[in-house]
Amino acid sequence: MNYLVTGGSGFIGSHLVEQLLKKGHSVINIDNFDNFYNYQIKIKNTLESIDKNSDFEFSDKENDIKNLISLSKSDNYVLYYQDIRDKNGLEDIFKNHKIDLIIHLAALAGVRPSIERPLEYEEVNIRGTMNLWELCKDFGIKKFVCASSSSVYGNNEKIPFAETDNVDNPISPYAATKKCGEILGHVYHQLYNVDMIQLRFFTVYGPRQRPDLAIHKFTKLISEGQEIPFYGDGSTARDYTYIEDIIDGITKSISYLESNSKVYEILNLGESEVITLNEMLATIEKTLGKSANKKMLPMQAGDVQKTNADITKAKTLIGYKPTTHFQNGIKKFVEWFLRK
Ligand SMILES: NC(=O)c1ccc[n+]([C@@H]2O[C@H](COP(=O)([O-])OP(=O)(O)OC[C@H]3O[C@@H](n4cnc5c(N)ncnc54)[C@H](O)[C@@H]3O)[C@@H](O)[C@H]2O)c1
């Protein structure tokens, strides 16, 4: 099959591309190597995803990406340095390829920066996503997997969070853009028969995790003997999901879409295991064999108190089956972190 993956050089995207290529599929990766975090990390992600671990000589961003594009091109993989906000640029790509299904992961992620740059989040996460759906309409592409987020639940008081819960009360611009994506996606499903699964990922971690996310940030700072910023009293809690389990959920969503029609579904992909900030930190300290030096700070705006996924629907509908307990996942993450 020919899959178009957006954001295929990011954390989740690079793991997905790797898995799709291993299964013998063809992948078109669209990524603009945005400045949310260092582009060199995304170049390394891309090289790992296509199993090319050559020593890459970094110079400047534009040249590096040009080199990466020519180095990575093969019969079953092509990388486009392309912004999803640019519809004409996207259209040229759609003209050049037969696309069976799109997995849309490109986005400005991160809750806190969205409070500082809400308009940019709106442009990328809403307009950029609509550009893809407009092209689905024009090019007759009928299958679409879209990254949503657990953040749409806001400070939902009912635990665990189920897809049937009301999500009308997001508490960050990021969360609101993801909810808009779910609603607009339904419009394209309804009007143009685009079969779609919206996946609400619950805090994803593992090798290649984004450096801005707490597990990665804490691991780095503790191993360097630096102070860690610790927000709140440590009682906030997250349903952390290991990357392999997320990839299992995405690939099962793809299979479901390929064998069913008239589909519009929203699915939680979590581990269904709630870990407090205190427990998360203690697990990292134990695994690293080092203690953290905490700088206590107040809770930050936009941060929710707790996330916890009810994954019954994903289990029943697509056979989603997460298997990685937090202690094991952190062990694998720390091993990767110390090796890199
Ligand atoms: N990591 C998590 O815990 C988590 C949780 C919930 C939802 N999500 C969602 O999953 C998706 C992937 O997240 P991730 O953690 O891998 O993030 P990431 O930042 O590592 O990956 C996103 C990729 O999209 C690309 N991108 C950003 N803006 C773009 C644009 N305008 N045009 C083209 N490409 C662009 C980036 O360069 C990056 O490579 C995102 O949609 C995110 O909102 C992630």
* Position 217 in a domain: no
Position in ligand 1 atom list of the atom nearest CA 210 = 20
Task: Report the number of distinct structural domains present in the chain.
Answer: 1
For residue 170, whether the previous peptide bond is cis, meaning omega lies within 30 degrees of 0, is no
Q: Which one of 174, 205, 242, 320 is the catalytic residue? A: 174
Pocket of ligand 1 (CB under 6 A): 6-7, 9-13, 30-34, 36, 42, 83-85, 105-109, 124, 128, 147, 149, 201, 203-204, 210
Contacts of 35 (CB under 8 A, 6+ apart): none
Residue 113 lies in a domain: yes
Looking up residue 136, the CATH number of its domain turns out to be 3.40.50.720
Report residue 112 as tokens: 């806190």
Report yes or no on 220 lying in a domain.
no
Q: CB of 287 within 8 A of CB of 334?
A: yes
Q: Show pLDDT as tens, one digit a residue, over the chain (340 residues).
A: 999 999 999 999 999 999 999 999 999 999 999 999 999 999 999 999 999 977 899 999 999 999 999 999 999 999 999 999 999 999 999 999 999 999 999 999 999 999 999 999 999 999 999 999 999 999 999 999 999 999 999 999 999 999 999 999 999 999 999 999 999 999 999 999 999 999 999 999 999 999 999 999 999 999 999 999 999 999 999 999 999 999 999 999 999 999 999 999 999 999 999 999 999 999 999 999 999 999 999 998 888 899 999 999 999 999 999 999 999 999 999 999 999 8
Residue located nearest, by CA, to atom 44 of ligand 1: 201
Spatial CB neighbours of 313, under 8 Å, sequence gap ≥ 6? 162, 163, 265, 267, 268
Other Cβ atoms within 10 Å of 130 Cβ, number: 18
State the DSSP H helix or E strand holding residue 13, giving kind and residue range, or none if neither: helix 11-22
Domain coverage including residue 120:
2-202+242-270+309-322
15 inside domain = yes
**Of 155, 241, 148, 143, nearest in space to 192 by CA:** 143
Contact predicate 15/23, CB 8 Å: no
Note whether residue 85 is domain-resident. Answer: yes
**d(CA 151, ligand 1 centre) in Å:** 14
Nearest C-alpha to atom 37 of ligand 1 is from which residue? 33
Nearest residue (by CA) to ligand 1, atom 34, is 31
From 201, 269, 303, mutation site for ligand 1 pocket: most ligand atoms within 8 A of C-beta: 201
Give a yes or no: residue 296 inside a domain. no
> Which of 208-239 are b and which e, b meaning 16 or more Cβ less than 10 Å from the residue's Cβ?
bbbeebbbbebbebbeeeeebebbeebebbbb
Indicate if 153 belongs to the active site: no
Structure tokens at 300: 């930050």
| Structure-token match 């969360």, residue found | 175
Q: Is residue 281 situated within a structural domain?
A: no
335 in any annotated domain: no
